[in-house]
Amino acid sequence: MRGRDTWVLLATIVGSSLAFIDATVVALALPEIQQTFHASAGDVAWIVELYTLVLGSLMLLGGALADRYGRKRAFVGGVALFALGSIGCAFSWSIASMLVARVAQAIGGMLYAPASLAILGNHFSGDARARAIASWSAFSSLTSTLGPVMGGVLIDTLGWRSVFWINVPLCAIVIAAALRHVSESRDERAPRNLDWFGALLATLGLGGMTYALILASSAGWNDGGVRGAAIGGVVSFAAFVVYERRTRNPLLPPGLFASKTFSLVNLSTLLLYGATGTLFYELPFAMIQAHGYNALQTAFAMLPVPIGVITLSRFAPRLVKRAGVSNVLTAGPLVVALGFALLALLEPQHSYWIAFFPGVLAIGIGMGITVAPLTNTAIGAAGPQHVGIASGVNTAVARIAALLAIAALTVLLAAIYDRAMPATPVVLAQRDRLGGARFDDPVLQQESQRAFEEGFRGVAAACALLALLAACARPPSPEPEPRPRDRSSSELSA
């Protein structure tokens, strides 16, 4: 690999890592943020959910912007905006002010995340692209491993505000490398008129459904606001599907899903990332609030997942050549399902090495087998002319999966918690805080921790089912990849 190729990989790897680092570090900080602002479980859920909502619902728009106006331009601008949003989070004085800064982060992310993969897809092709994406997956996980560990140290020593500063030096490195070494690329045939109305419908649809799921965990499904948001979300999303089929310049070209491989790979992405996204959200709550771990211990406890991706992603292209992409994309999610099943057997008296480590390790191994082939197959099935929108779709599906799964499974956790706790006025007064509830009665406090543990086991079992269904979404052999139109891209991959 030549020097310029290495710098392109570095920029895209560190850029892609920003989103993962942010998700895991913020999850580690949520219990302390909840205590600082005396917030409910629903309030702190929005710190993750609003970010993911804006990021996921606008990701398609981000991919379209990158294709039309330049992938390098979208990448650099998005990273800069993400850095500003991170600084805003560090200075937030309330949940509301933090949510505003999180929206800025998300808008930056919706620009740089699809552009990152699109830059790789344009710069490399064929086997070189498969190796590049494998390296991207492995080293993205390596940089993402350092973030949570550093975040755990910062949370325990300097408080939760300091974790947002992690993003700032990383953003500076990415911007400098991209400006110097990444070539500009775009789809010259793409129409200049963007589908703003389609983006609005997608955002309203996802926003309504997510708001209903989060509010239902505290207000219940009989609440008028919950029902109204759910109905509005479903109607908006249905209108998005109909509108995209009729508009001249759709945000999501219907022909993209004519590829059976592309459709099945994105279905597998939806199910698998829904499960793993929920893990990184709920596991810190279970370990910190129910088992007494601190933030740094929790960060180390989750390391088997990124280490598994680091170790195995580099071997994934060779594994695909030997076993076939369909077999690999079946075996990987099956191992992930096994990991979640082990977590569902969690018992409070067990140590970390018995209760958590085997399950988290299996999830890391399964994701290490799966991530690189899943991403490469999704981009390859769409063809080089749609590399931006294809990477946008795949990234959006991953983010939306986590968004919906966290919201839905938090409802499940709340239902299990409610069933296990007595319906006394003292308990009902803190019902929406779940594992963050604090009672003067030590017996009641212990009951609350056990109830939360039971809820987490139920969530883990549901995630095992999602991963199992992902294994069933077996894609056929990949379709032949069209010859790249951009000669410079093929020359760079030689």
334-355 pLDDT tens trace: 999 999 999 998 776 677 888 8
pLDDT at position 384: 59
Mean pLDDT of the chain: 78
pLDDT digits (tens, 9 = 90+) for 417-433: 888 887 777 777 776 66
pLDDT digits (tens, 9 = 90+) for 453-489: 888 899 999 999 999 999 998 777 554 444 444 433 3
The whole-model pTM stands at 0.70
pLDDT at position 254: 67
Give the H or E element holding residue 110.
helix 95-123
pLDDT at position 487: 39
The Cα–Cα gap between 398 and 58 comes to 13
Full DSSP string of 133-189: HHHHHHHHHHHHHHHHHHHHHHHHHH-GGGGGGGHHHHHHHHHHHHHHHPPP---TT
Where do the structural domains in the chain lie, given as residue ranges? 3-183+247-479
With tokens 């728009």, the residue in question is 61
pLDDT at position 268: 92
Greatest mean pLDDT among 73-82, 185-194, 429-438, 457-466: 457-466
pLDDT of 100 over the 60 cut: yes
Say which amino acid occupies 59: M
Say which amino acid occupies 198: G
Q: How confident is the model at residue 405 (pLDDT cuts 50, 70, 90)?
A: confident
Please name the residues in contact with 45: beta carbons below 8 A apart, sequence gap of 6 or more: 214, 217, 406, 407, 410
Tokens of 353: 């090495």
Distance of CA 79 to the CA centre of its chain: 17
The CATH number that domain 3-183+247-479 falls under is 1.20.1250.20
Higher pLDDT, residue 185 or 330? 330
pLDDT at position 285: 79
Pick from 107, 108, 106, 102: which is nearest to 89 by CA?
102
Pick from 105, 135, 99: which is nearest to 22 by CA?
105
pLDDT digits (tens, 9 = 90+) for 357-369: 999 999 999 998 9
Q: Are 320 and 312 in contact (CB under 8 A)?
A: no
pLDDT at position 339: 95
Tokens of 104: 């800025």
3-class secondary-structure state, position 243: helix
pLDDT of 451 over the 60 cut: yes
Average pLDDT over residues 248-269: 79
With tokens 């056929």, the residue in question is 476
pLDDT of 207 over the 80 cut: no
255 Rama sector, left if φ>0, alpha if ψ -120 to 50, beta otherwise: alpha
Q: What percent of the chain has pLDDT over 70?
A: 80
Tokens of 485: 């139109």
Pick from 151, 459, 456, 463: which is nearest to 286 by CA?
456
CB count within 10 Å of CB 158 equals: 11
